[in-house]
Chains A and B, each alone.
Chain A
């Protein structure tokens, strides 16, 4: 059973860079069937798609975050990572790493448990 686990600081200062990693276990990150993504949920609100990376390193991002976000993959470590620069309080959210399955028409069938990131001085 494939599992995803987020890791990274839970508190980030305004204007600094948020960095999270997601470790893939129980399966291969190099499968052609999957995109590996990041999704966030600010307190009391809905889900926001941040972006995704393919095992080849090809990326796609939300236009609203594109200027500040980077997602990368390290297949040797079975990890993919998110960096978000120049954070503000509006970036406070639960951040989920996720697997989009192309055989399920892009649906996210595996989610990390989520990690809360607070932006505050």
Chain B
């Protein structure tokens, strides 16, 4: 089974900052990686799929990259609505799995 890790577990940032979150898979997953944003009390929202494809309606300040085992989510200029928790998820093989999450706060 594939284990997912994320770093950092939390990051403090300001509006306008560039934020980078790293996700690592325990074995190669090609490009089968998705990123989600979750705000308190809400279901997660798909931001990026297939490592770097932006889901419809997601602002272009979100960018995903990587391949194999190492992936990153970059928010180029943090906006007030971006303060949330971010999760990566592999869909390369069953059982699917999520990373533990990265909380982005002020």
Contact = CB atoms under 8 A, between A and B. Distances in A.
Interface of A: 37, 39, 46-49, 51-52, 60-63, 96, 100-101, 104-109, 111-114
B22 interface: no
A51 B95 contact: yes
B46 A104 contact: yes
A31 to B, nearest CB: 17
14 contacts: A46-B85, A47-B87, A60-B95, A63-B95, A96-B43, A100-B91, A105-B31, A105-B33, A105-B34, A105-B53, A105-B91, A106-B32, A107-B55, A107-B91
Contact of A113 (B1, B43, B101): B43
A61 to B, nearest CB: 7
Interface residues of B, number: 30
A46 B92 CA distance: 20
A106 B34 contact: yes
Secondary structure of the A side of the interface? strand
Contacts of B100: 46
A107 B48 CA distance: 8
A104 B34 contact: yes
Contacts of A47: 36, 38, 44, 87, 89, 98, 101
A51 B94 CA distance: 9
Interface in B45-78: 45-46, 48-51, 53, 55
Those 8 A-B pairs whose CB atoms lie nearest each other, nearest first: A106-B91, A107-B49, A107-B34, A111-B43, A60-B94, A105-B50, A104-B49, A46-B101
